[in-house]
Amino acid sequence: MIVNKNASLKKLNTFNVDASCDVLVESNDTNDLLEALNSKELNNNLFILGGGSNILFTKHYQGTIINLKEESIKILDEGTDKVQVEVSAGMNWHRFVKWAVDKNFGGVENLSLIPGNVGASPIQNIGAYGVELKDVFDSCSGIMTDSLDRVNLSKSDCEFTYRSSIFKKKLKNKFIITSVRFNLTKSNHLYNIDYPDLNNLSEFNLDLKKISNEVIKIRNSKLPDPKQFGNCGSFFKNPIIDFSKFQKLKEKFTEIPLFKVDSNYFKVPAAWLIDKCGFKKINDENVGVYRNQPLVIINLGNASGNEIINFAKRIKDSVFNKFDIELEEEVIVM
């Protein structure tokens, strides 16, 4: 365990915001984590930081940030058609996906190149190109912050919904995920290529690597490299509206793209709403939206967290005024 006081967080967040915290703990395993949680000096206003790809720091963090560093993958159970693996929370998500694809383990190929670490994936119920984490999730292990008890949570325990889970609600800041178990396929893979961007893939001679490579290609074409422009990927969730609002919007904006969720709800692409509000041509000195994907807010220089959140508020206000839809942040703002 490495402990640093008054530590910089600039290299630990993909927005590349220059922020700091009272104490930064680098935890290499569960024993390190428990030692930090048991310490009266370190167990003060705790926050668990993974890959820093879904967070925006707007000020100095008064407390302790624990950065989970352990990276490991274990095969727990392997049969002819299926395999169950356990992955440590500190494992880079895409590194895990690449490992699975290379092993011909199916289920996560559509989630290629999503930034962040495995431990954050259930919190957000990450998803892309027709697949969500809950589709392959078996369970997760972790520690309750109040009692320090080790607990296992099943899929039903986690209460997954669109880009959310129990970890954003009842267990917010109360449970630290240390590892996640996934159920993957070894044969008879269910290839998911119904998503519009994947329609060009042929079912003939299809395999996991082809799907993964296509997703990587699409994401690289739409999303900026954090090394060039600091960002957190999608800043906002795609809003879901009811049938009544759907009818009103369709009458006023006939070209609006709407995707049916069920008989009474529709999903609206937030990127389309932001684009129609003209934000591809609007930016502040240090903040703007990415030219190929307006859903992504980018750090154009040395933007502060407050500059970024103020720009995001301008987007929210504009979308609400034009479409009567309130966008909800996907990132955690601190």
Encode the chain (334 residues) as per-residue pLDDT tens digits. 788 899 999 999 999 999 999 999 988 888 888 888 888 777 778 888 888 888 999 999 999 999 998 999 999 999 999 999 999 999 999 999 999 999 999 999 999 999 889 999 999 899 988 899 999 999 999 999 889 999 999 999 999 998 889 998 999 889 999 999 999 999 999 998 888 788 777 777 889 999 999 999 998 888 888 888 999 888 999 999 988 888 888 888 888 888 888 878 889 999 999 999 999 888 788 999 998 899 999 999 889 999 999 999 999 999 999 999 999 998 889 9
Residue with tokens 């967290």: 305
**Dist. CA 107–CA 269, nearest whole Å:** 25
Q: What is the pTM of this model?
A: 0.81
The CATH code belonging to domain 2-68 is 3.30.43.10
234 annotated active-site: yes
Q: What's the start-to-end Cα distance of the chain, in Å?
A: 25
Structure tokens at 137: 């999730």
Closest CA to 316 of 293, 295, 287: 295
Check 109, 214, 307, 330 and give the catalytic one. Answer: 330
Structure tokens at 275: 């684009």
164 annotated active-site: no
Do 219 and 6 meet the contact criterion of CB atoms below 8 Å apart?
no
**Dist. CA 282–CA 106, nearest whole Å:** 41
Q: Where are the domains of the chain?
A: 2-68, 73-222, 230-333
Who's near 162: CB < 8 A, 6+ residues apart?
A: 125, 127, 237, 240
Check 163, 181, 212, 307 and give the catalytic one. Answer: 163
Q: What is the 3-state secondary structure (H, E, C) of 137-186?
A: EEEEEEEECCCCCEEEEECHHHCCECCECHHHCCCCCCEEEEEEEEEEEC
163 annotated active-site: yes
Given this chain, do its domains 2-68 and 230-333 carry the same CATH topology? no
Check 181, 234, 307, 318 and give the catalytic one. Answer: 234
CATH 3.40.50.2300 fits 230-333, yes or no: no
73-222 to CATH, choices 3.30.450.20, 3.40.50.150, 3.30.465.10, 3.65.10.10: 3.30.465.10
